[in-house]
Chain A
C-alpha cells in the first residue's frame, strides 16, 4: 500500500518538477515563450480554444469530432472489406500463396505516399482523407485476419480432427475462435494506423481537424495551441489503445491464455 503510494507520487513529482522548471525557465528568460509556451499560457490557450475556437468559430471539440469521424469512416469501411476477404484468403491456402507477395507489398507502401495520387483522383476533399485512412487500415487488417486464420495452433486442428469435426463446423467452432485474438489485435493496430494517417492527411488541404489545427496554429505563431492539439491527439490515442485492450479482455477472455501458450 505504502509502496503503491510511493510509486504514484514519484512520477507525479517528476512531472510537476519538470513543469515548474519549464514555467520558471520561460519567466526568467532562459527559454523563449514562443518555442516553449509555459503551462499558464497553454491553460489560457485551452480556454480560448474551447470557447472562441481557432480559427474563430471552430472550437477544439468540433476539430476533435471531425477528426474522429474521418478516422471512423475509413476504419469501418476497411474492416468491412478486409474481414470477409481475409477469412476467405486465410481459409484457402492456394489463394494465400497467390496473394502473399501482393499483400506484403501493398502493406509496405507508405500510406501517406499515396496522398499525391489520391488528390489527383478525388481532389483535396473529405474523400481523399477517408480513402487514405481506409487504405492504411485495410492492409494491416487483412494481413492479420489472414495470419489469424492460417496459423491456428496445429494441436487444436489435430484435436478437432480426432473428434471428427470438419468443414464448416471446424471453421466456425475451432478456427474462428482461435483466430479471433489475432483478428482483434489487427483491428487494434489498424485503428492506430488510421489515427496516425489522419494527422498527416489533415496537414494538407483543410483547416478543420486536429492535424490541421496544430499546423495552422504554427503558421500563426500560436505554439501553445499546437501543444494543446498534440495533447488531445495523444489523449485520444491513449483512450483508443486502453479502451480496445479492455474490450478485448471482456469479449475474448480466452485470448490471454493463447498469448501465454504462444510464448
Chain B
C-alpha cells in the first residue's frame, strides 16, 4: 500500500513538474517574443488582461448558464437514452421498431442538428437544450442497448430459477448486469454534451462561456480573455468528467467491485 502510494505521489510530482515546465516555456516564449504576445500572450499577461476586462460576476454568471444548460440537457438525454435503450434490449417487439430509427439517426453528429433545432424551437434556450440532449441521448441509448444484449444468459436463468420474473428480474438483475456498459455510454455522453454546449453557444447564444469568448473576438477584445475562457472551459470539462467518473465508480462498485 505504502509503495503504491509513494509511486502514485512520484507520478503526480512528475506530472506537476512537466506541467509547470510547459507553462514556464510558454511564458518565456511570449516574453522574449519568440511567439507574438498579441496573438498568443503569456499566461501571466492573459490572466492580467482577463482580470482587467471581466468582473468575477460576469464570469460566474456565464459559467452558471453554461453549467445549467449542459446539466439539464445531459440529465434528460441520459435518462431518456437509458430508459429507451434498456426497454429496447428487454422487450423484443419494442426493440425491432425503435432500433432502426435510432440507428438511422445516430451517425448524424449532434452539431448537425443545430439548424433543424432552430427551425423547430427558435433561437432560444429550447434549441440548445435539444442539441445537448441529443449529445447525451445517442451514446447512452446505444450503450444501454448493447449492455442489455450482452448480459450473460446464465445470470438471467439463475434468477428465473429463484423465482424472479418480469419487472423485478429486469430491475434487480438485468439492469445491474448491464450497468458497466451503460456507465461507459454515460461518460461518452457527458463529453459529447459538453463539446456540443460550447459549439451551440458559439453559433447562437447571448450568454454562457462559449458566447463570452466569441463575443470577445467579435468586439475586437483581447486575446488574453479568449485564452482564459478556453482554459476555463477545458478545466470545467475535466473536473466534471472526473467527478462523474468517480460517481459512476461508486454506483457500479455496488455490483461489480470497485
Instruction: Name A residues whose Cβ lies closer than 8 Å to a Cβ of B.
Output: 7, 10-12, 14-15, 18, 34-35, 94, 97-102, 104-106, 108-117, 119-121, 195-196, 199-200, 203-204, 210-211, 214-215, 217-218, 223, 226-227, 229-231, 233-235, 237-238, 241
Contact = CB atoms under 8 A, between A and B. Distances in A.
B17 to A, nearest CB: 7
Contacts of B114: 203, 214-215
A116 B107 contact: no
Given A14-B101, A218-B118, A101 B19 contact: yes
Interface in B63-111: 96-97, 99-101, 104-111
A113 B100 contact: no
Contacts of B118: 218
Given A105-B234, A200-B202, A226-B119, A14 B113 contact: no
A15 B101 contact: yes
B111 A200 contact: yes
Nearest to B220: A120
A112 B116 CA distance: 20
B119 A218 contact: yes
A214 B233 CA distance: 27
B49 interface: no
Given A94-B14, A100-B15, A234-B105, A113 B115 contact: no
A15 B100 contact: yes
B39 A120 contact: yes
Interface in B173-197: 194-195, 197
Interface in B29-69: 39-40
Given A11-B99, A113-B210, A234-B105, 19 more contacts: A11-B96, A34-B119, A101-B15, A104-B238, A105-B234, A108-B237, A112-B195, A113-B198, A113-B202, A113-B209, A116-B213, A117-B223, A120-B223, A196-B110, A210-B112, A211-B112, A218-B119, A234-B104, A241-B107
Given A119-B217, A230-B112, A235 B16 contact: no
Contact of B19 (A102, A217, A235): A102
Contacts of A12: 100
B227 A117 contact: yes
B37 to A, nearest CB: 13
Contacts of A215: 114-115, 203
Given A111-B195, A117-B230, A226 B116 contact: yes
Contacts of A94: 14
Interface in B106-152: 106-116, 118-120
Given A108-B238, A110-B234, A10 B96 contact: yes
7 contacts: A14-B96, A102-B18, A105-B19, A113-B230, A114-B230, A200-B111, A234-B104
Contacts of A203: 111, 114, 203
Contact of B115 (A35, A121, A218): A218
Contact of A7 (B15, B96, B119, B216): B96
A208 B116 CA distance: 18
Contact of B233 (A18, A109, A196): A109
Contacts of A223: 116, 119
Contact of A109 (B96, B109, B237): B237
A12 B100 CA distance: 8
B214 A214 contact: no
Given A35-B119, A101-B18, A113 B112 contact: no
A18 B104 CA distance: 13
A112 B233 CA distance: 11
Given A109-B233, A110-B194, A98 B238 contact: no
Contact of B214 (A100, A102, A116, A211): A116
B205 interface: no
B11 interface: yes
A131 to B, nearest CB: 13
B199 interface: yes
A237 B229 CA distance: 31
Contacts of A226: 115-116, 119
A231 B234 CA distance: 31
A14 to B, nearest CB: 4
A105 B120 CA distance: 36
Interface string B215-227: 0110000010011
A179 B111 CA distance: 32
B112 to A, nearest CB: 5
B104 A15 contact: yes
A102 B17 CA distance: 11
B241 interface: yes
Contacts of B97: 10-11, 14
A99 to B, nearest CB: 5
